[in-house]
Amino acid sequence: MKKKNPIQAFFASVKLTLFVLFMLAILSIIGTVVPQNKPAEFYVEVYGANMAGLFQTLDVPDMYSSWWFTGLLILLSLNMIVCILERFPNAWRLMTMDNLQTKLQKLERMGQRRLFSSDMSPSKTTEAMKDIFARKGWKFQQKSQDDGTLLFAQKGTWSRLGVYAFHASILIIFVGAMIGSFWGYKAGVRIAETTTTDTVYEFGTQKPIKLDFMVKCKRFTLTYYETGMPKEFRSDLAIIENGKEVLTKSIVVNDPLSYKGLTFYQSSYEAYQKLLVTLKNNETGVSKEFLIPPGEEIPWTEEKVSFGVINKQMTATPGHFRYKVWFNDNNGEAASMWMEEDSTSSLQRPQATYTITLKEFFATGLQVTKDPGVWCVYFGCTLMILSLVVAFFFSHRRIWVHVSESGQGSRILISGSANKNKVGFDTTFAALTESIQENEQIEAASGHAKESS
């Protein structure tokens, strides 16, 4: 073998891999013990000024993006790339080589081998062998070689790729993460019900980011379990482009809305001391939405109506209220009635019937993520699992059968090898060679090939 230059040897060494893996494992602990990304004063308060100074120098408060942690990840990647490049050609050769070129000498020395003799002529024996092996799923190629016929069959050839695909998958995930950190962002926005926005605010910096479409929060609903625990946060969102609604979706935690590379997640909400009331005159069909503070008289001038919410009470469900609505349209006496939060009632008046909808007024808090690398990460993850299965549970198994003339009959040498799971292959090989003896004209021969197997 060629002598490697020392730099290449360093990066190709699996000792380095072990070192980096253990270092990553140990150093990662720091960030789980020292809280991350807190304001500078926090570290001074908890760890004292000296320690805090040391932490800042070593980037401990943000260690997973520090130069030294990133450096270790780069070292790991280089290590992996060099290793793959160095070993892959040999694996490829083993996958694509012509195994019918294998010399008899080599077969005689293979780890798994057995010798048989047969009363049949070499050509008949060859056919018999092909038959027996075909039944077990081994399809032979054949060639004349070394004064006889060489048969070869293999299984799981492509499984040699598994371990390379696995290491590549780690690199693919890294690439995806990098795409995300260079070209993506995370932002937040609060949108009050019925309003629209086109600007979100980047996390950390609070820098405004203008979107090329508008997002509307049509409605936000909060539901509770009987115990008073929140059950669901739901925002009915709409995407508006050029004044038209192009997409609507009702999002909840774990079911976000994606549009043009951005994803909107339900992340928080804010309750205002205000109520959202919709009034509709059922006779004329006219309706209007009002955002009102409790305790004030609100005019609906077009309809000559005034109304207000004059009282509030907790219902049997914790966190759930009912409201007393007052209504006057100057026809007969003013009316008032209790309405549950988020409900609709109709009100009979001398001149008309009105439909009243009342709900608490919320703003929904959305997280907005742009991550153009996420598909790459997911691709890497899928590849990782598939390739792990291949690398762990499949192996490249090869079987050669050499048939040559011997006295009245034939001599049969069966050899095999597997790149992994040798114990499993030994069992397979033993079963295969057992089944050969079902043919009465073939029997185990005592010969030099058998002793050491």
Partner 1 sequence: MNSSQLLGVSTLGFLLASMLYIGALIFRAKTVSLVASILTLLTFLVLTGGIGLRWYESYQMGFGHAPLSNMYESLVFFAWSIVIFYLVLEFKFKNRILGAFAIPFAFVSMAYASFAKGINQEIAPLIPALQSNWLIAHVMTCFIGYAAFAVACGLGIMYLLKRDGKKEKTTGLIGTLPALKIIDDLIHKTIIFGFLWLSVGIITGAIWANSAWGTYWSWDPKETWSLITWFVYAATLHARFTRGWTGKRIAWLAIIGFVSVIFTYFGVNFLLAGLHSYGSS
- Contact residues for partner 1, defined by CB under 8 A: 14-15, 17-18, 21-22, 24-25, 28-29, 31-33, 35-36, 42, 46, 64, 177, 186, 225-227, 229-233, 252-256, 263, 265-267, 367-369, 371, 374, 377-378, 381, 384-385, 388-389, 392, 423
| Residue 167 binding partner per list ligand HEM, partner 1, none, with a CB distance cut-off of 5 to 8 Å that depends on partner kind | ligand HEM
Nearer to ligand HEM, 163 or 177 (CB): 163
Per CB under 6 A, the segment of 76-84, 110-118, 137-145, 242-250 that binds ligand HEM is: 76-84
Q: Is 83 in the site for ligand HEM (CB under 6 A)?
A: yes
Sorted by sequence, the CB contacts under 8 Å of residue 428 that are 6+ apart come out as 397
Show the CA angle centred on residue 55, arms to residues 51 and 57, nearest 5°: 115
Question: How many residues bind ligand HEM, per CB under 6 A?
Answer: 12
Half-sphere exposure at residue 199, Cβ-oriented, CA atoms within 13 angstroms: 4
Could you give the CA distance from residue 397 to residue 114 in angstroms, rounded to a whole number?
16
125, 131 in Cβ contact below 8 A? Answer: no
The torsion angles phi and psi of 424, rounded to 5 degrees, stand at -60, -40
Exposure letters 263-287 (e unless 16+ CB within 10 A, then b)? bbbbbebeeeebbbbebbbeeeeee
CB 269 within 8 A of CB 363: yes
From the CB of residue 148, how many other CB atoms can be counted at a distance below 10 Å?
A: 21
Measured from the CB atom, the residue of 17 and 250 that comes closer to partner 1 is 17
What's the min distance (Å) between Cβ of 180 and ligand HEM?
A: 19
Choose the contact partner of 452 out of ligand HEM, partner 1, none; CB within 5 to 8 A by kind.
none
- Which among 145, 226, 235 has a CA at the least distance from the CA of 191? 235
Angle between helices 67-96 and 14-33 (to 10 degrees): 140
Q: Report what 44 binds from ligand HEM, partner 1, none; CB cut-off 5-8 Å by kind.
A: none
Residues 160-199 that bind ligand HEM (CB under 6 A): 163, 167, 170
**How many other β-carbons are positioned within 10 Å of the β-carbon of residue 408?**
10
Distance of closest approach, residue 101 Cβ to partner 1, in angstroms: 29
* Candidate residues 52, 79, 114, 433; the one interacting with ligand HEM per rule CB under 6 A: 79
What is the footprint of ligand HEM within residues 341-380 (CB under 6 A)?
none
Under rule CB under 6 A, residue 80 binds ligand HEM: yes
Site for ligand HEM in 380-409 (CB under 6 A): 391-392
Nearer to partner 1, 223 or 315 (CB): 223
Nearest-approach distance from CB 432 to ligand HEM, in angstroms: 24
How many angstroms separate the CA atoms of 96 and 159, rounded? 13
With CB under 5 to 8 Å by kind, the binding choice for 256 among ligand HEM, partner 1, none is partner 1
Determine the Cα angle at 353 with ends 349 and 356, to 5°: 105
**Shortest reach from residue 333's CB to partner 1, in Å:** 43
Q: Count the neighbouring beta carbons within 10 Å of the beta carbon of residue 410.
A: 26
Q: How far is the CB of 241 from ligand HEM (least distance, A)?
A: 43
Q: Which does 177 bind (CB under 5 to 8 A by kind): partner 1, ligand HEM, none?
A: partner 1
221 sits near ligand HEM (criterion: CB under 6 A) = no
Q: Min. distance of Cβ 16 from ligand HEM in angstroms?
A: 6
Question: What is the b/e burial string over 320-332, where b = at least 16 CB atoms within 10 angstroms of the residue's CB?
Answer: bebbebbbbbeee
Residues of the shown chain interacting with ligand HEM in the complex, contacts defined by CB under 6 A = 14, 17, 76, 79-80, 83, 87, 163, 167, 170, 391-392
